[in-house]
Amino acid sequence: MIEMTLREIADIVGGTLHDVADPELRVTGAVEFDSRRIGSGDLFLALPGSSSDGHDYAPAAITAGAVAVLAARPVGVPAIVVAPTVGAAPSSSIALTHDPDGSGAAVLTALAALARAATARLAAESGLTVVGVTGSSGKTSTKDLLAAVLAPLGSVVAPPGSFNNELGHPWTALRADASTRFLVLELSARGPGHIAALADVAPPSIGVVLNVGTAHLGEFGSREAIAKTKGELVEALPATGLAVLNADDPRVAAMAARTSARVVLVGQAETADIRATEIRLDDQARAAFTVHTPVGSAPVRLAVHGEHQIGNALSAIAVALECGAGLSEVTAALSGATAASARRMDVRTTADGITVVNDSYNANPDSVRAALKALVSLARAGRTPRRSWAVLGEMAELGEESVLEHDAIGRLAVRLDVSRVVVVGTGRPSRALHQGAVLEGSWGEESVLVPDIEAAIALLDEEVAAGDVVLVKASKSVGLWEVAEHLTDPDVVAARSAGAAGGRVGQDTEAAG
C-alpha cells in the first residue's frame, strides 16, 4: 500500500479518529484482516465472524505492530472508526457470516473507498495499469498466466488464489505501491451489479472476459443474466482501454457492442484477432499450438495442463502485447508459467507411479467438463493407455438446474470413457451424477457412489494402482482436496509402495512353488 497518514485514511473512508495521539502517523505497511499476519506499520481490519469478532483482536494487532485499526466502533486502541450501516452493501458478492449490526458492511465499504483512492493515486502518479479478468471459469488460471507474461515488463501484483470478492479484491488492490506497474485482479459475482461494484473499486483499463457458463446459475437464474453481469466489466472500461473477448463464446463476443473500448477477439474461430491453430497435446495434456497475431505468428508450448488453457493463454498474449511485450517474449514467458494457485489443475505423479490431478478448489459444469477432458487426455497419452479415475463431488449454486447439470456430467464422464467414476456425497446432486453415469454406462460398474471423503479414500487405497490417473474435483464446500492430498502424501505413498512390493514378492514365491 502507498503510505498514508491516519488523517488521510479517515478522510477517505469518512471515519473518525479514536485514541489516536498523532493523526500524522503513517501506515507504511499492508492492510490485513488476519491479526496473526500483522507486521510493523500495518492497518488492521476489524471484521466480524461467526465465531469471533475482529474488534476483539484490535489490541493484539496494535501490539504486533499495527499503526491503527479500521473498525466500526472504538476499540480502546488507535482506530479509524466508521459508522455501522445495516443493509448498506446490496451489491455484496459474499455474505458475511455474522454481521447483525452492519459493522462488517461498514468496514468493507471503507476498505473499498481506501482501495479506490490508493489505486487512483497510483494510476495518476506512477502509471499503474489495472487488468481485470472475469468469466464463469478459468479466472484464476488466467490471472496466473497474466502475472507470468507481464512480469518481464515490470512489477506485478496479483491475488493469491481466488481473492476476487469485495474483501479479497480491495485487499489485493492495496498490495500495490509506487513500484507496481501492473495490478491484475479477478472479478467474481453472484448477482447483477457485483462486477460493476468491484470495477469501481479499482477501475481497469484492460478487461478480459473468458466465458459465460453456468457457475452460480442458482443466483442468476439464466445464462443471459450471467452474460449481462459479466459484461459489466467491459462497460466499465474507458474509451482508451482494451476489451479482450473470447471469440469462441457467442455471449462473450457479443459484449463488443457494450463497450467504448477497443476490442480484441481471441480464440480458435476465424474471426479471432489472436488465434490458435495446429493444436496438439503432449503426454501430460499440455497444449502446444501456433498463435497468429497482428504482429506475427509464433509457436507456443504451455506448461499448464488441459486444452482449456489455450483460451486462457490467448487472453494473456493479447494483454501482454497491449502492454508492450514482444511476441517472442510472451511465448517464452508462457512456456515457463506453471499453476501458481493451489488446487487448480495441479498434476503430480507419485513415486509409485500414480498421477493425481488436484483440481479440487472449486467446480462448475464448464470447469468439470474441461477437467474430465484433460483427465482422458492424460490417460490416453503415451504408448499404453492408462486407467482413469474421476473422483467427483457436488457442484454448488446451480439452482433448479442442479440435478440436470450433475446428471449431464455423469453421462459425459462415461461418454469420454473414464474408467471409473467415484461420486462422493449422499445429496440429491451427487446421486444424480452417479445415476447419470450408471444410465449412460454399459454394465453399471462405471460409477460408484460413496457417502463421504473417508469412504472415497478407503476405496482408492484398495483399488488404485501404479499407472492410474486420478482427477479430484468438486465445489470448494465439499473439501475434496483431502482425497488428492491423501493420495500424494509421502507416508501413504511409501506404505502403498511397500504393499505393492509385498504383493509382488508373494506372487513370485507362489509362482516359484
* Mean pLDDT for the stretch of residues 91-100: 54
pLDDT more than 90, % of the chain: 75
The CATH homologous superfamily to which domain 127-336 belongs is Mur-like, catalytic domain (3.40.1190.10)
For residue 339 the three cell numbers come to: 499453476
Q: Is the pLDDT of residue 509 over 50?
A: no
Window from 129-143, 182-196, 336-350, 364-378 with minimum mean pLDDT: 336-350
Window from 136-150, 173-187, 207-221, 239-253 with minimum mean pLDDT: 207-221
By CB atoms closer than 10 A (0-12, 13-18, 19+), residue 418 is buried
Q: Is the pLDDT of residue 223 over 70?
A: yes
Q: What dotted CATH number matches 346-499?
A: 3.90.190.20
* Mean pLDDT for the stretch of residues 117-123: 97
- pLDDT bin (cut points 50, 70, 90) of residue 511 is very low
For residue 246 the three cell numbers come to: 473470447
Which pLDDT score, from 0 to 100, does residue 216 have?
Answer: 63
Distance CA 58, CA 320 (A): 42
The string of DSSP letters for 262-299 reads: EEEEEESSTT-SEEEEEEEE-TTSEEEEEEEETTEEEE
Per-residue pLDDT tens for 41-73? 999 999 987 778 899 999 999 999 999 999 999
Contact, 163 vs 169, CB < 8 A? yes
Which pLDDT score, from 0 to 100, does residue 500 have?
Answer: 67
* Mean pLDDT for the stretch of residues 474-496: 94
Judge if 127-336 and 346-499 fold alike in CATH terms: no
Which pLDDT score, from 0 to 100, does residue 385 have?
Answer: 87
Q: What dotted CATH number matches 4-89+98-103?
A: 3.40.1390.10
For residue 38 the three cell numbers come to: 500483522
Q: CA-based angle 471:475:476, to the nearest 5?
A: 105
Per-residue pLDDT tens for 428-473? 999 999 999 999 987 667 899 999 999 999 999 999 999 999 999 9
Q: Write the CA distances from 375 to 225, 271, 388, 490, integer angstroms.
A: 31, 30, 7, 23
Contact, 281 vs 300, CB < 8 A? no
For residue 155 the three cell numbers come to: 512489477
Average pLDDT, the chain: 91
Distance CA 466, CA 481 (A): 20
Nearest to 472 by CA among 368, 359, 375: 359
Extents of the domains making up the chain: 4-89+98-103, 127-336, 346-499
By CB atoms closer than 10 A (0-12, 13-18, 19+), residue 203 is middle
What's the gap between Cα 489 and its chain centre?
Answer: 24
User: In whole angstroms, how large is the CA radius of gyration of the chain?
Assistant: 25
- pLDDT bin (cut points 50, 70, 90) of residue 496 is confident
* Mean pLDDT for the stretch of residues 89-105: 62
Per-residue pLDDT tens for 224-253? 988 999 999 999 999 999 999 999 999 999
3-state secondary structure of 181: strand
Write down the pTM of the prediction.
Answer: 0.85
Cβ contacts of 106 within 8 Å, gap of 6 or more: 72, 82, 83, 84, 85, 88
